[in-house]
Amino acid sequence: MGNIIFSVLFRKRWAYDDTGLAELLEAAHTAPQVINPSFYFLIPTFVHYLGRFNFIPMKSMRMVQLAFEKLSGFSDVEISNHLMNNNSTLNPDEEQAHRHFADIFLSTADGKTSKGEQTYMTVNSLKGVVANLFLGGLDSTATVLTWLILLLLKYQDVQKKAREEVDAIIGRERSPTLTDRDQMSYVNAFIQETHRFVTASPHGSYHLVSQDTEYDGYFIPKGTHVVQNLWAIHHDEANFKDPFVFNPERFIDDEGAFTKSRLVVPYGTGKRICPGEVLAQRELFLFVATLLQKFDLQPPEGVSPDSISVEGVYNGAGIFVPDFKVRFMPLTNPST
């Protein structure tokens, strides 16, 4: 995951044994594990005030602070290196100069500034965007991918149907591509049902009310923190029949086509949903299709799939996968 995001942002890759990558992965993994949503409501001003003095009395909040400092420090270094080594690419009129996200962002900002237009696209805002993309993209996508593996392991019939579709559409002689996605109704339904059933980020992104608002008889003053209860949306019987049953077929219509549901909102709701949604969905499709093409997922010998727990562990800001073991059994090409 880290190299995919790093490539999108800067068109660079880490070696898998790079200590910097390991530290960044640890930072991205730590923050979601220890953030407790209640902090934002019980003591927001208190925590932010003390944070200015580098003093956080609670161990968990201090861990979050250190994780953000690590991610912020990484952003500072990479963007500074980019500015020093690639200033010649910041030309908005040369499309070939847009090698990656940082180039596009900075060249667009440079173009607005040269025209005298006001813009919030500054180097500092880019540093924040980079840090947030790593925080949101590294751990959250990996968590959902692990859930997908667990559910394929648990529900062998689902795995069988999904693999049959992969074999029919892609086969085993070439790798899956994004052009295959629109033809693969069952795989798409499986991924969407996993998002609904699990809701790995049950609160979504926090929002701040920008002006005094009245909604459904309630007055919400400007500056109020607002949290979306995505888990409740996904498990409301008014939205989904038998919401606690894992059933990808609920998103397959009578003609066998995939139905995208507006009520499955794992990346949040409103205008400011997770900016990494498109990248994450593409990653998940390619990973799942490739796993199904290459491996048969089986539990350890002597363990029945029916005995495998899919009860998530709520810890901090996410619902994480329970411990499990899986055997990846290589599949052979039918033609060989």
What's residue 115's pLDDT? 83
Handedness of CA 277, 231, 197, 182 (dihedral sign): negative
- Looking at 76-90, 186-200, 256-270, 291-305, which range is the least confident one? 76-90
Identity at 325, one-letter amino acid code = K
What's residue 273's pLDDT? 83
What is the enclosing helix (H) or strand (E) of 327? strand 327-330
What's the Cα-to-Cα distance from 113 to each of 88, 97, 116, 117, 120, rounded to whole Å? 17, 18, 5, 6, 10
According to the per-residue pLDDT averaged within each range, which of 6-10, 142-146, 201-205 is highest? 142-146
Q: Class of the 2-85+122-330 domain? A: mainly alpha
Give the separation between CA 105 and CA 9, rounded to whole angstroms.
10
Query: What mean pLDDT do residues 132-143 have?
Result: 76
Q: Extract the runs of DSSP E, i.e. beta strands, from the chain.
A: 207-208, 213-215, 218-220, 225-226, 295-298, 313-315, 318-320, 327-330
Q: Is 60 exposed, middle or buried (0-12, 13-18, 19+ CB in 10 A)?
A: middle
pLDDT at 281 exceeding the cut of 80: yes
pLDDT at 127 exceeding the cut of 90: no
Query: What mean pLDDT do residues 82-92 have?
Result: 58
Q: What is the pLDDT of residues 14-26, one digit of tens each?
A: 777 777 667 777 7
Extract the annotated binding site for heme. 274
What's the Cα-to-Cα distance from 330 to each of 140, 172, 196, 289, rounded to whole Å? 27, 12, 29, 14
pLDDT level of residue 314 (50, 70, 90 thresholds)? confident
Query: What mean pLDDT do residues 99-108 have?
Result: 80
End-to-end C-alpha distance for the chain, whole angstroms: 32
pLDDT at 241 exceeding the cut of 70: yes
Is this model's pTM higher than 0.95 or not?
A: no
pLDDT level of residue 97 (50, 70, 90 thresholds)? very low
What's residue 88's pLDDT? 45
Q: What is the largest CA-CA distance in the chain?
A: 70
Total number of residues shown for the chain = 336
Identity at 6, one-letter amino acid code = F
DSSP, collapsed to helix, strand or coil, labels residue 208 as strand
Give the separation between CA 9 and CA 71, rounded to whole angstroms.
14
What's residue 63's pLDDT? 62
pLDDT at 53 exceeding the cut of 50: no
DSSP, collapsed to helix, strand or coil, labels residue 12 as coil
DSSP, collapsed to helix, strand or coil, labels residue 245 as coil
Extract the annotated binding site. 274
pLDDT at 120 exceeding the cut of 90: no
**Domain residue extents for the chain:** 2-85+122-330
What's residue 218's pLDDT? 93
Give the separation between CA 313 and CA 319, rounded to whole angstroms.
5
Question: Hey, what are 75's tokens?
Answer: 């952003």
Residue keyed to tokens 């060989």? 336
pLDDT level of residue 61 (50, 70, 90 thresholds)? low
pLDDT level of residue 256 (50, 70, 90 thresholds)? very high
Mean pLDDT, rounded, of the chain: 82
Cβ–Cβ < 8 Å for 223, 208: yes
- Percentage of the residues of the chain whose pLDDT score is greater than 90: 45
Q: What is the pLDDT of residues 144-190, one digit of tens each?
A: 999 999 999 999 999 999 999 999 999 999 999 999 999 999 999 99
What's the Cα-to-Cα distance from 206 to each of 20, 61, 230, 272, rounded to whole Å? 29, 17, 12, 10
